[in-house]
Structure 1
Amino acid sequence: MTNSAETQQQTKGSTGSAAGNASGNLTGRVKEQAAQTVQQAQEQIDAGLQYSSGEMQRFAKEGQEFVKKNPGLAVAGALGAGVLLGLAMRSRF
């Protein structure tokens, strides 16, 4: 091989290796960013579930207190809801 041919071949090899390293670095950064995004999403989901759980417990407690204070109204409401649900289901089936 001539001197200039060897130089060109070495330049191509080092350029390819630099491109491979840059690609590897980019891939690593993308993977790291994706992992951080997934972790943040998981934290948001956990916080939402914890909040929802607390709200459902509060709602259930308030419902129980309402039924204890107003048993007649609770029975009438349940009866009315049952009748409406029954009428709605009868017309569909």
Structure 2
Amino acid sequence: MTTVHPMEADTQITRESENDGVADRARKSIQDARHRASETAHDLRERADQTAHDLRDRAEFEYELGKERLGNVSSEAERMVRRNPVLAIAGAVGVGVLVGLAMGNRRR
């Protein structure tokens, strides 16, 4: 049987107590880090959801605005053709000639 001196026993108990304290602090630090990481992930998810919602709203707005503008341009073009049908036909013929020339030059 080994005899342990009382001073050595006290030193060993003190070391074990210190080690337990370090382990407890390490566990607490890990728990705190996990909690902060979880909160950060939750915040990021909420921000991502809000950003996606904002982008979806903006896309819908821009789509509707574009649709309205296209309708206005179409209506204006129709009015212009009704007021000046000869000019409209001449313009269409001119565009056709230009496209034909451009396509003819491409084939060479």
TM category, shorter = over 0.9
For each residue in 1:25-68, what CA deviation from the matched residue of structure 2 results, as whole angstroms up to 9, or x when unmatched? 11111111111111111111111110000000111111111111
Seq. identity, %: 25
Residue 58 (1) aligns with residue 72 (2): yes
Higher RCO (CA < 8 A, seq sep 6+): 1
Count of aligned residue pairs for this structure pair: 93
Structure 2 counterpart of 1:88: 102
Which blocks of at least 5 consecutive residues in structure 1 are unaligned? none
Structure 2 counterpart of 1:24: 38
Post-superposition offset of 1:4:
1.5
Structure 1 counterpart of 2:28: 14
Q: Which stretches of structure 1, 4 residues or longer, exceed 4 Å deviation after superposition?
A: none
TM-score (normalised: structure 2): 0.81
Could you say what secondary structure the match of 2:39 adopts? Answer: helix
TM-score (normalised: structure 1): 0.93
Counterpart of 1:79, as a letter, is V
Partners of 1:42 and 1:89 in 2: how far apart? 41
